[in-house]
Structure 1
């Protein structure tokens, strides 16, 4: 998402209209995302251990750090609900709805990235018949999707780090290849009669890279690539790429609007 959600909590109703849930969404800082990726923060660790890391290393409040109840991919679910009845009876269904919401997210049915989803309040029907998974899960994923769409979500693409060692005579060809592939030149280092070119290239633009480097440098370039990070697809390409992915998955080529997913009083 492009920004944190700053408005009042977004409400979702269960299909039978007997249950309600309110949520807000924030972006997770990259250092927290990296801690999740490396397993430093995980759903499986003891709550006290996770709470200490989130508080002391990442500045989270004691309440939020203590009440992380689910982690899916790089997304976190925090339970801020206080003083409501029947929460324990439905919380597993809420977690399942959260996992559905972020594992196949609203824009393109691809995983969400780096979201902190906060459960702010809940009202649950006293009769268990009216609060099963078929009611609670949609009540959870729908307002999450609505809130995401209110926060100007962006499609991300994987970026490769690229390092190429090449004779100085061929360095201009390597730079041209990088730039042609939407690459970003980071550094160039001279090493005797060789140059080391460091750059980033989107994975989507890397196909055929090896053949082009070999033919353009007469086979005298040596290079390596590895995953670096995720970055937003350029604004000028966002809608085209979103439409292409949605069409490939058999979805309407027009992304849904936030109002389609959340409810009002």
Structure 2
């Protein structure tokens, strides 16, 4: 350090305390089922967490087992080496964080209780959330290790509408970080991390921003940070839009932003208007007359059963 200060750089060098990286984990199964709901209350995911089998985390990290294997290969591996039942072994959705992270997400829902097609429709979004959570744990934003996350129940809205989402990386001085959070929150943005950039006084803010909310974002960002923040945006994934696109009771008023729970309806109506289509979806366009009659009869029978 003396040579660095006096011989090479001729500047004062401050030495911080040694930094130790930690991992977060669980030591026993969840004492209660935890759930999360979307703002429109129409989608609900219930999960539990429990420790992984001893040695499994290391097998994933060392490439002994890969999430890219087909379901049969995964099933045979987990059944043979870790005595998992075949159904659980073939229900694995992801390792995380990333493809070789030491955590597992699996679908433990019952086909008789949860619509499998609807689960597959939202699988990518759930996996994305699992990856975020495994990368930054709840205790101190350290990576999670050696945990099995099990989806035990799900209630999924039957009319999903998906929108593209940007991954945004913003370089900014530390005193502008709060302003960046404010700008992102107004545009339905979600910050995943903000960390100092090594060797500089700048911070790197990483976030996800719906593409439809990104128009004018860079100008807005520079205005609120006095031109000190710079951003880079790339497409990252598709996410389900909150709300029910077929809810005709929703009133959309011109020049007024729609509440979050009405966004799916707003996006659908505006897109149909732009394409010169009628505002509402009509089943007559997609089904022949015989199918429409059968659907009407089934609806009538269901109504009678409810009465």
**What TM-score range do you get, normalising by the shorter chain?**
0.3 to 0.5
Given the two structures, how large is their TM-score scaled by the length of structure 1?
0.47
Choose 1 or 2 for highest CA Rg: 2
Larger RCO (alpha carbons 8 Å, 6+ apart): 1
TM-score, length-scaled by structure 2: 0.41
